[in-house]
Amino acid sequence: MNLSDALKNREFSIPEPPKKKKKIGRWILLAIILFWVGNSFISSDAFDEEPPIVEIEDMDYWNLREPIALKISDNIAIKSYKILIDNGTGEREVFKEETFEDRVVKELEFNITAPIKKYKSTYTTIFVEVEDNSIMNWLSGNRVEIENIITVDKERPKISILANSYGIRKAGSAVAIFDVEDVNLDEVYIETQSGRRFYPQPFYNAGGKKTNYISLVAWPIEDERFSANIVARDKAGNFSTQYLNYYLKGKTYKISEMHLKESFLTGKIQSLASQHEQSSFVDNPAEHFRIVNEDIRKENEDVIRAFTSVVHKDRVITDFDIVPFIPLKGYRSVASFGDLRKYYFEGELVSESRHMGLDLASIRMAPVISSNRGQVVDISTKGIYGLSPIVDHDLGLYSIYSHCSSTRVNEGEIIERGTIVANTGKSGLAFGDHLHFGLYVQSIPVRPEEWMDSDWIRVNITDVIASAKQIIERQ
């Protein structure tokens, strides 16, 4: 066999092309490396799913004078925002817009304003659109849109005084009757120069379109001057004031100097002082008296003020048929209202306080009478005032009967004229059987003598109410 035949008969295997598995593996490895490397440059913040936050002042009404506060924020970065506002014709105009390309902004605050004079519509819309820097949502980022519809009210309430008492005395009372016109009225009150507020109740209405109000006011004894304005405010923040023109009557209240004896400072004074935490650190009997006369008195009066500050703002007053208060039959006055009492011990001024009631005495455990209809709001014991029922006579007028030995009514009970409320006694800081009679106008203690005088009530209260009714009926 020659060489050629040998070659022909020999089997040859043709080598296959080299497999590409190793190259493909390299590409996968490279892709993985690039992915992780890319993540070192593309922050995970870019995949944030949290949308921006839009905080706009909660307003249903807008007077256009006060700006509306707006805040937009994002936990990573704001990419762009747009604020549109209705221009008064139903069309939106751009208030402000911006896109951030080369800086990171996480928080922005605005005061949204509108052209007051040109604005004619009774409502507006505020539209806010914010987009962040996330690449979520197919690279469009997280977006938030809000739309607020707000009633526009540029008109101030209109106040008209119908009638009021001619004058007011220091620590005395007066009445005011007025009407307020405003479709979006929010609150009405009478404010004094010292910042005290008296809240009115709706008053007799003969079918008119205006809202009528009535309120008692008081000149606090501690205020040297007095002036008062009716304030009406609507839901959009518009407000009006109207001065109440009272003739001011001065009144000087008695100053008494009282010299304490050591025998007086024991017994009841120590017993009352022991109820106060501060007394446990004090051995001086004069300091015990100061604690009773000032600290405990203030705490007790705070309780009384809380009960007598309630006004039934939604209760319509059609009349206020009040008669003189005569809480005790055949009484004699043993201490007057408003006295400033200065207490001395061994020649030193120890304490002082005002007597905010009228002390009356007749017979022991005499029946205490409510001369006017009302509701009993409390019958509890009140420290130095002892057992003290309180009666609500409406319109913010309250009567209190202190130092009683027993009560004859229940809390919450509606009582009629002539009802026996309690019996006199000497509970609390009292050293003889008597009645401490007090009257309050919206938590302010006032002169009981006025409300015990039929002529004063007629001239300053009932005649004023009758006059206001006539005006309303003619409207």
Q: Where in the chain is the domain with CATH 2.60.40.10?
A: 158-251+464-474
Q: Is the pLDDT confidence value at 32 over 80?
A: no
Residue 150's nearest CA partner among 82, 237, 54 is: 237
Measured distance between the N- and C-terminal CA atoms of the chain, rounded to whole angstroms: 144
Enter the pTM of the model.
Answer: 0.83
Q: How far apart are CA 329 and CA 361, in angstroms?
A: 9
pLDDT computed for residue 41 by the predictor: 40
pLDDT computed for residue 24 by the predictor: 60
Q: Where in the chain is the domain with CATH 2.70.70.10?
A: 255-442
Report the top-level CATH class of 158-251+464-474: mainly beta
Q: Which amino acid is at 209?
A: K
pLDDT computed for residue 5 by the predictor: 53
Q: Is the pLDDT confidence value at 280 over 80?
A: no
91-110 pLDDT, tens digit per residue, is: 899 999 999 988 899 999 99
User: Which distant-in-sequence residues (6+ apart) come within 8 Å of 4 by Cβ?
Assistant: none
pLDDT computed for residue 13 by the predictor: 46
What is the pLDDT averaged over residues 197-217? 86
Q: Are 323 and 305 contacting, i.e. CB atoms less than 8 angstroms apart? A: no
Residue 174's nearest CA partner among 459, 452, 407, 437 is: 459
Q: Where in the chain is the domain with CATH 2.60.40.2470?
A: 46-152
Average pLDDT of every residue of the chain: 89
393-436 pLDDT, tens digit per residue, is: 999 999 999 999 999 999 999 999 999 999 999 999 998 999 99
The fold of 46-152 is Immunoglobulin-like (2.60.40)
Is the domain 255-442 a CATH 2.70.70.10 member?
Answer: yes
Q: Are 194 and 170 contacting, i.e. CB atoms less than 8 angstroms apart? A: no
- Phi/psi for 56 (5° steps) reads -120, 140
Q: 3-state class of 472 per DSSP? A: helix
pLDDT computed for residue 474 by the predictor: 86
pLDDT computed for residue 205 by the predictor: 76
Q: Is the dihedral of CA 406, 412, 413, 415 positive or negative?
A: positive
